[in-house]
Each structure stands twice: as C-alpha cells, then as structure tokens.
Amino acid sequence: MGEFIFKLPDIGEGVVEAEITAWHVSVGDKVEEDAPLADAMTDKATIELTSPVEGVVKSLGCEEGDVFSVGGHLVVLETEGEVALDEETEETSEDDAIEQTESSSASAGAGEFIFKLPDIGEGVVEAEITAWHVSVGDEVEEDAPLADAMTDKATIELTSPVSGKILALGCEEGDVFSVGGHLVTLEVEGSAPAPESETKDAPKKAEAPAKPSSSASKTPSTPPSTSKKKSSSEKVLASPAVRKRAMDSGLDLSKAKASGGEGQVTHDDLDLLEKAAEPEDGETRIKVIGLRRVIAQRMQEAKRNIPHFTYVEEIDVTELEAFRARINQKKSEDKPKLTVLPLMIRAMAVLLRDWPQFNARYMDEQGYVSQFSDFNLGIATQTDIGLVVPVLRKAQTLSVWKMAEELGRLAEGARNNKLKPEEMSGATTTLTSLGPLGGIVTTPVINRPEVAIFGPNKIRPKLVMEDGQVVERKVMNFSVSCDHRVIDGYDAAKMMQDLKALLQDPQMMFLA
C-alpha cells in the first residue's frame, strides 16, 4: 500500500490561501479518480476540488470554514501499490530542495552582501517600505536598523545582519516591495559572510506608527520591549498570524496569557482564551464562513474606506406605471412581461451618458478614477446563500425586452449558484432593490471600488394637491449613495433631478 498527498493547488493568480467551505468526503471513505473532495472558495471564485487518484481517505487537513494555504497537505489517501506522486508533488519537492539551499539573503560575490526582504508573515508576499534609516554610503553595524516595512498586519523594523557600508537601496520610501527582493546591498570586509549569518536575528516588531513623511525618515524607530512584563499601555507582542486569528475571532489579545519565549501571545494562548469564552445560556454561535464571510469582509472594507453620503429624491411614477401597462398590453406573446426595473435601467443608461462620474471606479490605492462608456450594471440579488451581484453587461445597448430576459436569466443563475465568474464581475455601478419590500428610504453601501449605488424603493400611493384638487398619485423614493471623495453632493442632487425628469416623462428616455 502507498500514500498520496493531495495538496491545495494554485487556484488563481495572487491567491495564497482559500477557505474550505464544504467537505464531500470523510476519513475512511473510498473515493474514485475525479470524485469531488471539497469546495474551496477565494475572493474570486469557488471551485470543486477532485481527487486525481483512487484511494481511501486517511486524513483531512482542516475543518469546514478553515482558511487553508496553497500547497498545504489537504487530503492524505491510501492507494494501491507504491507511494503515488503527481507532477505537482514532484515539482514542489524540487522547489523545496532549492529553497533549502537558499537563504533570505545571499552572497553576491566577494565583499558584497545582499539583504533580501524576508518573509514577514503568513500569506504576506509584499510590504511597503515606510521609512529608511540609512542612505547610500552610510556605515552600519550589525543589528543596526535599516528600514521599516509595513504590511496590512504589522509594521516590522528590519535590521542589518552584518556590518558594512551601504552600496545600494532597492526602492524609495512608500514603494511596495516583494518578499525576496534585493532590498539592500552592503560592502563588507573580506569575503561575503556565510548565508546562515544572515538569518541570525528575526525582524523586530515595531509599534505600528503612522506613515512617516520623508523629512522624518532618518529618525530611528524605538524597538519594542521584549520583557515578559508588559504595562497596559504597551503593544501586545504577537505574530501576524496570531493577530489575524484574534481579529477574525473577535478576541482581545491583551486578555491572553502570553507564554511565548519573548513574552508574545501564541496560538496555544488563543486556544485557552477561546475556551474561556464559553457561550452564555441560550446563546447559539454560528461560524461565519463562505459567502457570508466574504460579504461581511467587503462591507467592512467599503465602510472603512469610503466616506458615504446618501441623497434621496421622491419621484412621481404615475406616468411611468401607465406607460408600462400600455407596453405590456401591446407586447407579443414571445416577449416577457415588463416590470418597472428595465424602464429604470433604461433611464439610468440614458442619464449616465451625461453623468459619467457615477459610472466609475475609484482605484484609491493606485490613485486614479476610471470612467466607462459601457454601462455594466451590477444587480444586487438576494439568494439563499446570501447577497450576490450578477452584472447586466452593456445595458445601454439593450432593449427593455432584452433587459427583462437577461435580468430573469441572471436572477435564476444567482439563485441556483450557476453563474460563471465573469457574470459576477466587471460592474461599473450597482442597483439594489428590495422590490415590494423596498421600504420608504434606503442608504445602500457602495460596492467598492465603484463610486455609487442606486436604490429604488417601493411604489406607494400618495394624495397630492393639483390645481386645488386632491388627487392620488403613485410615488417612489429613489436613493443614491456616493463616494464623497469623487462625487459632491451638488452633483448627486443635479443628477437625481435629471433622473426624476426621465422617469416622470418616460417617453423621453426613448427619444434620447
């Protein structure tokens, strides 16, 4: 008998981990070749992982809901004959052998030493160099600070593993630098040091400061205390992986008993802290996994990064509803019955020709706004598994009948989880509607990096005065939430007045 180790494969460019949302096998199960093993979800797609061999499941690498690293041993299978190896295993073994012969820094020839940006956290592939503490030509001693490197998890002070003279710096302050890149080249006395001297000390964790200005870049940062005694005002020592786990679990690191050798909180300490937080009487804890976790993360990022404001306009849709009724009376049998939604989308498609700043994305990290000639509308759709946003592509080119067909197809695909990844991406703005449940006013959250989201509310009767007479009209509140970094309140108000004019005189949207 042999063993086959199935590793979590590389399932997308830039993807270093995935959440295992469902297991289709258990320990002891016999599986055939190509049988489903598990579902793995990234922020880009959900894929089904299948077995490349026949065998019996000996062990599973994690539980449902766990985030698992690419290349990790996901499933171990017992197979007939000798130990099975696939191409991925062989390639990984070769890579491992190569990695064992390389260090985080390396000799570049006699008298030179290259310091590479080290691996500073699980899943971290790059870091921003927020401050340099040296310049070309400086003489540095071993353990002297070189730079501060910041990831989304921590700020690290990088120190020199050797004494020498700075020959070159690999980037400028504020640049994002890849792990393993040649960060600093030093001139050293005699031959270059042996590689093992380069990893003598791990990077020191620094307090997470605000990003320094260039004028302050030469001020050395103060290394943290490594004493096992910590005052309440001192930052709790913990690795980036422990910090992420604590944040995801809602645990307060300061309440954990630090058992690490340098006074840091470990995963074992978090295990004890989690056990201490037992459910209260009557409390049911539901693990947040899968699509719900992704939705929560994206909503949190949107509210954290985008300064929202919402503008609401009341629109008289009496004529719009009468217009829709006339169209439905005269439609042919092969055409779907129109709801008010395709007419709203038609009005928006006409409107946004004059208001392209609402049909846009703000790429804040790159520092530019993209405006689009195509109107690719995300349609927020509630399903049994949560909120999904299929995309109605090039809506400005579609008739209201074709829109109705596409909206029905996308809604059905969303409910059955049958949409392709390309049908769920590429929106330039979004519309969210709860239909007859639409309430009076909504303040929808923007789908980052888009800059606006539109929210029609339910149509309701209202008594109004016309020529001294009380008459009943059909009205609807229409909301738009905007990114205030890109769109001003005045523009939102003017745009909504134009939308109101089209919806109150619906034939105009077909004359534009």
* 365 and 503 share one domain: yes
Q: Specify the pLDDT at position 200.
A: 39
Least reliable range by pLDDT among 265-269, 311-315, 368-372: 265-269
* 173 and 251 share one domain: no
pLDDT over threshold 60, residue 306: yes
Q: Specify the pLDDT at position 466.
A: 92
- DSSP SS3 for 111: coil
Least reliable range by pLDDT among 163-177, 357-371, 462-476: 163-177
* 167 and 121 share one domain: yes
- 222: in domain: no
- 445: in domain: yes
- 304: in domain: yes
- SS3 track for 297-363: HHHHHHHHHCCEEEEEEEEECHHHHHHHHHHHHHCCCCCCCCCHHHHHHHHHHHHCCCCHHHCEEEE
Name the nearest CA neighbour of 156 among 121, 105, 125, 182. 121
Which uninterrupted H or E stretch holds 134?
A: none
- 72: in domain: yes
* 124 and 211 share one domain: yes
DSSP 8-state secondary structure symbol assigned to residue 450: B
Question: What average pLDDT does range 150-156 have in this prediction?
Answer: 69
pLDDT over threshold 60, residue 231: no
- 412: in domain: yes
* 70 and 112 share one domain: no
Residues with catalytic roles = 484, 488
- Rg of the chain, C-alpha, whole Å: 29
Least reliable range by pLDDT among 132-136, 196-200, 450-454, 484-488: 196-200
Count of structural domains, the chain: 4
DSSP 8-state secondary structure symbol assigned to residue 5: E
CATH code, domain with 350:
3.30.559.10
Q: Specify the pLDDT at position 14.
A: 65
Q: Specify the pLDDT at position 12.
A: 67
For the chain, percent of residues with pLDDT exceeding 90: 49
- SS3 track for 173-222: CCCEEECCCEEEEEECCCCCCCHHHHHCCCCEECCCCCCCCHHHCCCCCC
Residue 302, φ and ψ in degrees, nearest 5: -65, -45
Amino acid at 310: T
Q: Specify the pLDDT at position 369.
A: 97
Number of neighbours of residue 11 by Cβ within 10 angstroms: 17
Residue with tokens 């109605």: 392
Least reliable range by pLDDT among 90-99, 116-125, 175-184, 319-328: 90-99
- 189: in domain: yes
* 169 and 206 share one domain: yes
* 134 and 233 share one domain: no
pLDDT over threshold 70, residue 211: no
Name the nearest CA neighbour of 57 among 27, 85, 79. 27
Name the nearest CA neighbour of 208 among 250, 245, 156. 156
pLDDT tens digits along 164-194: 999 999 888 878 788 888 899 999 986 655 4
- 11: in domain: yes
Amino acid at 153: K
* 111 and 176 share one domain: yes
* 345 and 445 share one domain: yes
Question: What average pLDDT does range 345-357 have in this prediction?
Answer: 97
Question: Mean pLDDT across the chain, nearest whole number?
Answer: 82
Measured CA to CA in angstroms, residue 268 lies from 230, 239, 372, 392 at distances of: 19, 13, 51, 48
Number of neighbours of residue 119 by Cβ within 10 angstroms: 13
What is the band of 469 on the pLDDT scale with cuts at 50, 70, 90?
A: very high
Residue 452, φ and ψ in degrees, nearest 5: -155, 155
Residue 163, φ and ψ in degrees, nearest 5: -90, 140
* 71 and 154 share one domain: no
* 186 and 66 share one domain: no
Q: List Cβ neighbours of 40 (8 Å cut-off, separation of 6 or more).
A: 8, 11, 18, 19, 20, 21, 46, 47, 49, 68
**Cα separation, 315 vs 325, whole angstroms:** 18
Final residue of a structural domain among 238, 260, 286: 286
Q: Specify the pLDDT at position 261.
A: 76
Q: Specify the pLDDT at position 176.
A: 78
Q: Specify the pLDDT at position 122.
A: 61
Contact 84, 2 (CB under 8 A): yes
* 115 and 23 share one domain: no
- 224: in domain: no
What is the band of 221 on the pLDDT scale with cuts at 50, 70, 90?
A: very low
Which uninterrupted H or E stretch holds 97?
A: helix 87-100
**Cα separation, 268 vs 265, whole angstroms:** 8
Domain hosting 355: range is: 292-510
Final residue of a structural domain among 100, 115, 145: 100
- Residues for the chain: how many in total? 512
The terminus-to-terminus CA distance of the chain in angstroms comes to 73
pLDDT tens digits along 428-446: 999 999 877 778 899 999 9
CATH code, domain with 233:
4.10.320.10
Final residue of a structural domain among 100, 128, 155: 100
Contact 484, 466 (CB under 8 A): no
- DSSP SS3 for 36: strand
DSSP string covering 243-285, please?
HHHHHHHT--GGGS---STTS-B-HHHHHHHHHHSPPPTT---
CATH code, domain with 14:
2.40.50.100
For the chain, percent of residues with pLDDT exceeding 70: 82
The pairing of beta strand 2-7 with beta strand 73-79: antiparallel
